[in-house]
Amino acid sequence: MDVPSSVKDKVEGVEAELEQLQKENAALRLMLQVMSNKYKMLSEAYFRESNSQVPTICRGLTRFDLCEDQHSHKNILIPQLQLAANSSQVFVETDPRDESHIVKDGFQWRKYGQKVTKHNPFPRAYFRCSMAPACPVKKKVQRCMEDKNFLMATYEGRHNHEVNPSIGQSLSSPTSSATTSISGFPNSVLDNPLRSAIALDLNLSSENSCGNGNDDDYNNKRSMEDHVAASLAKDPSFTLALAAAVARSITEHPKPPTN
DNA sequence: CGCATTTGACCGGCGC
DNA sequence: GCGCCGGTCAAATGCG
């Protein structure tokens, strides 16, 4: 019994879409895991800070910002992820056997160093943007400890030039797909119009609540957030799955102590 | 030969 | 002051 070619095409299309969704799902799961780890470390750091009552800058994955409470006019500690306002973190799925720290993001990078860090057995590679001589953007690429199928790229700074479209394809290539970004975006790869990755701003930055953020950056960030949220909200199954995953992730860790 | 990559040395920040 | 650690430098090396 022959299957009509139109149906066959449709099935292939659905299969391709399913595969893409599975990759995105894997990236999201990884992101949740990383978030959970950071949350756990934050909780521990917060617990320590609460006990000591001494506001200090924590080294490592967390830090605390000192802000003034508008109601009580007292200084309060606001925990946030390590990522600075002008940095972003991107996960890229790659072959775990591939030891080249190549993340095709539309820019040309020049490697200037490699280091093995304490908390991750995989070496971290340091790159500078080489598309423009004065471009200040730097990138750190390290295989993710939670899932070695993913490279974790951390971008710092803002490009002062345009992306080269001939380099910019990329993120849907067989060796690099399903990227998920966390934290401060309107810079670096997130400016690349060619990418179709999921970008979720999960930066818990307190810059806005403290009133010291850049308005343009804030507006760009908000419009991007709105766009992403609207796109994702159209898919009810995704929303349900994400909500369930977040709920599961949060309940797996103890709540920070309340004072 | 020119450019990119590798890799050990060096530097600065931080905690003790 | 000392040691640890992440980040950067720069000479050596490789490659087209």
Read off the pLDDT of residues A82-104 as tens digits, 9 standing for 90 and up. Answer: 345 567 777 777 766 666 677 76
Give the CA-to-C1' distance from A126 to B3 in angstroms.
18
Question: Which phi and psi (to 5°) does residue A13 adopt?
Answer: -60, -45
Give the CA-to-C1' distance from A6 to C6 in angstroms.
56
Check if residue A117 sits with its Cβ under 7 angstroms from strand B: no
What is the structure's pLDDT at A144?
81
**Residues A131, A161 contacting (CB under 8 angstroms):** yes
What is the pLDDT confidence band of residue A9, given thresholds at 50, 70 and 90? Answer: confident
Residues A162-212 pLDDT 10s:
665 554 444 333 334 444 554 433 333 334 433 333 333 334 333 333 334
Give the CA-to-C1' distance from A127 to C3 in angstroms.
28
Q: How far apart (Å, rounded) are the C-alpha atoms in residues A177 and A122?
A: 20
> What's the mean pLDDT when you consider all of chain A?
60
Please indicate whether residue A166 or residue A79 has the higher confidence score (pLDDT). A166
* pLDDT higher than 80, residue A125: yes
Residues A18-40 pLDDT 10s:
888 887 787 777 777 777 766 66
What nucleotide is nearest A140 when CA is compared to C1'? C7
Length of chain A in residues, anyone?
Answer: 259
What nucleotide is nearest A101 when CA is compared to C1'? B5
What is the pLDDT confidence band of residue A257, given thresholds at 50, 70 and 90? Answer: very low
For residue A197, give every residue at least 6 positions away whose Cβ sits within 8 Å of its Cβ, in sequence order, or none: A24, A90, A171, A178, A179, A180, A181
What is the structure's pLDDT at A112?
92
- Lowest-pLDDT range of A7-21, A113-127, A210-224, A233-247: A210-224
What nucleotide is nearest A113 when CA is compared to C1'? C8
**Residues A177, A129 contacting (CB under 8 angstroms):** no
**Long-range pairs, A246-251, Cβ under 8 A, ≥24:** A246/A32, A249/A32, A249/A33, A249/A35, A249/A36, A250/A36, A250/A39
Q: What is the mean pLDDT of residues A48-67?
A: 38
Determine the residue type at A7: V
Q: Say what the pTM is.
A: 0.53
What is the structure's pLDDT at A236?
47
Q: What is the mean pLDDT of residues A209-219?
A: 43
What is the structure's pLDDT at A82?
38
* pLDDT higher than 90, residue A126: yes
Give the CA-to-C1' distance from A206 to B13 in angstroms.
24
